[in-house]
């Protein structure tokens, strides 16, 4: 926590907070004075805040992280789920581990974290959840059957959860980026990055901060009547 945070600031949990979109979200939220707790399989600590060690695929690890968050004695009002991996390959060459590992992290992990967060948000009187999905969860992508399936499932989780928890004052939305400049996408072949860039109508690749800004909006009271939506942040890549 930073000195900018009021002593009674509610907690926002960000998964996958050590890098990429998750790091950008955590940084932007802290800059506006939020109390942010990051969860990642790569724990760290610096002057900007803490990142707790958490394997989102492991039920006990997720439960332990939330017990530690409970020790802050602050209400949990926000959750941003950025944790995700890729294991690309055409489906007829994809082995079981490549399929199952992506579904475990991207979808099952999101479910396990959400399951811990919802009772705490109910106790706090409401909250806001944002899932980072992908335009490829809507349109599909050659060589990404596992990733696209996991992100499509995350959209279904978002919409169903929004229906289940709206009566408790909890909103659940999703952000669907196109190509974003992160360590994950920098490993893509140059041809694939150029093809994605050519699909955009704005002619640029998104920065993590572009996605983070939309996440911050959905977490804020400015979006208090928005729930169950999937908001593309793709520069027109999927229009």
Mean pLDDT (whole number) for 196-221: 93
Confidence of residue 2 (pLDDT cuts 50, 70, 90): very low
In this structure, of 114-128, 138-152, 184-198, 200-214, the range with the lowest mean pLDDT score is: 184-198
What mean pLDDT, rounded, does the chain reach?
Answer: 92
Number of Cβ within a 10 Å radius of residue 212: 25
The percent of residues above 90 in pLDDT, for the chain, comes to 81
147 tagged catalytic? yes
Give all domains of the chain, ordered by start, each with its CATH number: 11-233 (3.40.50.720)
pLDDT in the model for residue 78? 98
pLDDT in the model for residue 187? 67
pLDDT at 202 over 80: yes
pLDDT in the model for residue 3? 45
pLDDT at 80 over 80: yes
Helix (H) or strand (E) holding 91: none
- List, for residues 3-55, the tens digit of each pLDDT value: 456 567 899 999 999 999 999 999 999 999 999 999 999 876 544 567 999 99
For residues 131 and 174, the answer to whether their CB atoms sit within 8 Å is: yes
Residue 93 in 3-state DSSP?
helix
For residues 12 and 34, the answer to whether their CB atoms sit within 8 Å is: yes
In whole angstroms, what separates CA 229 from the centre of its chain? Answer: 14
Going by the DSSP 8-state scheme, the letter that residue 104 receives in this structure is I
Active-site residue, from 147, 150, 179, 237: 147
- List, for residues 116-146, the tens digit of each pLDDT value: 999 999 999 999 999 999 999 999 999 999 9
> Are β-strands 44-46 and 49-53 bridged in parallel, bridged antiparallel, or unpaired?
antiparallel
Residues of 163-178 as b/e, b for ≥16 C-beta within 10 angstroms?
A: eebeeeebbbbbbbbb
pTM > 0.75: yes or no: yes
pLDDT in the model for residue 9? 85
Mean pLDDT (whole number) for 156-161: 98
The percent of residues above 70 in pLDDT, for the chain, comes to 93
pLDDT in the model for residue 188? 67
CA atoms within 13 A on the CB side of 126: 10
pLDDT in the model for residue 199? 87
In this structure, of 31-45, 64-78, 108-122, 224-238, the range with the lowest mean pLDDT score is: 31-45
């Amino acid at each position: 926590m930073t000195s900018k945070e009021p002593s009674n600031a509610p907690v926002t949990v960000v998964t996958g907070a050590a890098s990429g979109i998750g790091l950008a979200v955590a940084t932007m939220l802290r800059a506006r004075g939020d109390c942010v707790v990051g969860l990642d399989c790569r724990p760290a600590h610096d002057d900007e805040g803490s990142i707790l060690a958490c394997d989102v695929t492991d039920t006990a690890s997720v439960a332990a992280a939330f017990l530690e968050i409970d020790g802050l004695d602050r209400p949990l009002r926000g959750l941003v789920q950025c944790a995700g991996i890729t294991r690309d390959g055409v489906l007829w060459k994809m082995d079981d581990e490549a399929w199952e590992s992506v579904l475990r992290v991207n979808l099952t992990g999101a479910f396990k974290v959400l399951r811990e967060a919802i009772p705490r948000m109910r106790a706090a009187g409401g909250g806001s959840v944002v899932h980072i999905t992908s335009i490829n969860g809507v349109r599909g992508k050659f060589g990404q059957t596992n990733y696209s399936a996991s992100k499509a499932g995350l959209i279904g989780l978002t919409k169903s959860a929004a229906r289940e928890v709206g009566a408790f004052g909890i909103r659940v939305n999703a952000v669907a980026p196109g190509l974003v400049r992160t360590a994950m996408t920098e490993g893509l072949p140059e041809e694939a990055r150029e093809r994605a860039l050519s699909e955009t109508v704005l002619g640029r690749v998104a920065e993590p901060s572009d996605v983070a800004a939309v996440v911050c909006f959905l977490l804020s009271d400015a979006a208090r009547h928005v729930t169950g939506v999937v908001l593309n942040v793709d520069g027109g890549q999927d229009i």
